[in-house]
Amino acid sequence: MKPLQRFQTGAGRIIYSFPVQSFPTLVNNIYVIDDGEQLILVDSGSGMERANADLLAGFAAIGEQFGRPMSLADIGAILITHGHIDHFGGLPFIRRYTDAPIGVHILDRRVLSNHEERVVFSYRRLETFLEGAGVSAEQREVLMSVYLFAKTYYRSTPVQFLLEEGQPTVGGIGVYHTPGHCPGQVCLHVDDVLLTADHVLSRITPHQAPESITHDMGLGHYFDSLDKIERLTGFGLGLGGHEDPIEDIPARIRAIRAAHDERLCKVMEICREPKSIAAISRDLFGNVDSYHVLLALEETGAHVEHLHQRGELVAANLEEIERTSRPVVRYVRG
C-alpha cells in the first residue's frame, strides 16, 4: 500500500492521507484535515478488522512521521463522502473512541442510519434487476449472497448533520453534490484542494449502476455531475477516495467521459442482435468471477439503461414483456 502522505493547501491547512485495506482487493484513502484548531476525518474505511487496524495505524503514523500526535479521540467532526460500505462501514468502530458528529448528504443519510431497512429494499430491487437482466435463478442466489455479506455486518449509526451543496460545512469546507456513482456522493472543497471521493478517481472509471436499482444513480446523473466539477476552476489538486492524487481534474474527467462514451458505443455494436443485459455484460467484460460478476452486470445495466432511456436501444421482445410478469428484456438498436 501507499505510504502516509501530507499535503498543504494554499491557505495553509494540512491534509494527511493514508490507505486502509477495506477488503482483500480494495484499498481506501482516509483523509484527516488539520486546520490547527480542529481535526476533521473524511471517510472511515469498511469496518472490517484489517481496515480498523489500518485506521489506528494511520493515526499513529501521523504522530511518528510528522510530529503531530493524534488519535481518533481527537477528531472534531466526521464527514462521509457517500453511502458505500468502504467509506462509512468503520463508523461503529470509530464510535468506540469519539462522539464527534457525523455528516453526510441527505440522500445517503438512511444508508448510514437506517441500514437494516435500506438493505432489504436494495436487495429486492437488485433481485428484480437481475431477473430482468436474464441472470439464472442459480446465479442470482450466489450474487445476492455476496451482496448481503458485504452489507450485513454494519450496525446503523445516527447522523448528526447534513452536507448540503452551497452550505459550507465544518471548518468552512465547501460541498458539491455529485450524484451518479452514489445518490449522496459529495466532493469536498478544502481551499484549493478538491476531495473528489469516488466521483473522480485517478485510474479507474468509478463504478456505475442503474437508477432502476437506486434513485439518483445512473449514467445521466453521473455525466451531469462530471460537467459540474469540470466547470469549477481554482483547484490545484484532486484527492480521491481510492488510488493516487489527481494533478489535472478536468483532464481526468474528459478521460472518464471518453471511456464511458466508448463503452456506450460498444453496447450499441453488441445490440445489433437482441441481447439481455447478462449477455451484453459477458460480451463487454468476458467471464469474470464472484463479486465482479455483480459489478459487471451493474455497470452494463447502467449503460443499457442510459441508451434505452434515450431511445437508442429498444426492447426487441415487447409482446413477451407485456404477457410475462417478470420478463427478461432483450435490447436491440432502435
Binding site for Zn ion (CB under 5 A): 84, 86, 198, 241
Q: How far is the CB of 87 from Zn ion (least distance, A)?
A: 6
Q: How far is the CB of 241 from Zn ion (least distance, A)?
A: 5
User: In this complex, which beta carbon is closest to Zn ion, that of residue 198 or of residue 305?
Assistant: 198
User: In this complex, which beta carbon is closest to Zn ion, that of residue 243 or of residue 312?
Assistant: 243
3-state DSSP percent of the chain in helix, strand and coil, to 5: 45, 20, 35
Q: Across-strand partners of 253?
A: none
Q: How far is the CB of 281 from Zn ion (least distance, A)?
A: 20
Residue 162: C-alpha distances to residues 34, 103, 177 (Å): 21, 5, 12
User: In this complex, which beta carbon is closest to Zn ion, that of residue 182 or of residue 271?
Assistant: 182
Q: How far is the CB of 242 from Zn ion (least distance, A)?
A: 6
User: In this complex, which beta carbon is closest to Zn ion, that of residue 33 or of residue 85?
Assistant: 85
Q: How far is the CB of 181 from Zn ion (least distance, A)?
A: 6
Helices (H), 40-180: 49-66, 85-88, 91-94, 106-113, 115-133, 137-152
> What is the largest distance, in Å, between two alpha-carbon atoms of the chain?
70
Helices (H), the chain: 49-66, 85-88, 91-94, 106-113, 115-133, 137-152, 219-231, 249-270, 277-285, 291-309, 318-323
Question: What is the rounded CA–CA span in Å between residue 315 and residue 323?
Answer: 14
User: In this complex, which beta carbon is closest to Zn ion, that of residue 182 or of residue 313?
Assistant: 182
Q: Which residues contact 297 (CB under 8 A, 6 or more apart)?
A: 129, 130, 133, 135, 143, 277, 278, 281
Q: How far is the CB of 15 from Zn ion (least distance, A)?
A: 18
Closest CA to 296 of 288, 304, 305, 306: 288
User: In this complex, which beta carbon is closest to Zn ion, that of residue 102 or of residue 279?
Assistant: 102
Q: How far is the CB of 243 from Zn ion (least distance, A)?
A: 10
Running DSSP on this structure, what letter comes out for residue 44?
-
Whether residue 48 contacts residue 54, with contact meaning beta carbons closer than 8 Å, is answered with no
Q: How far is the CB of 299 from Zn ion (least distance, A)?
A: 13
SS3 188: strand
User: In this complex, which beta carbon is closest to Zn ion, that of residue 84 or of residue 151?
Assistant: 84
Question: What is the rounded CA–CA span in Å between residue 286 and residue 246?
Answer: 30
User: In this complex, which beta carbon is closest to Zn ion, that of residue 29 or of residue 276?
Assistant: 29
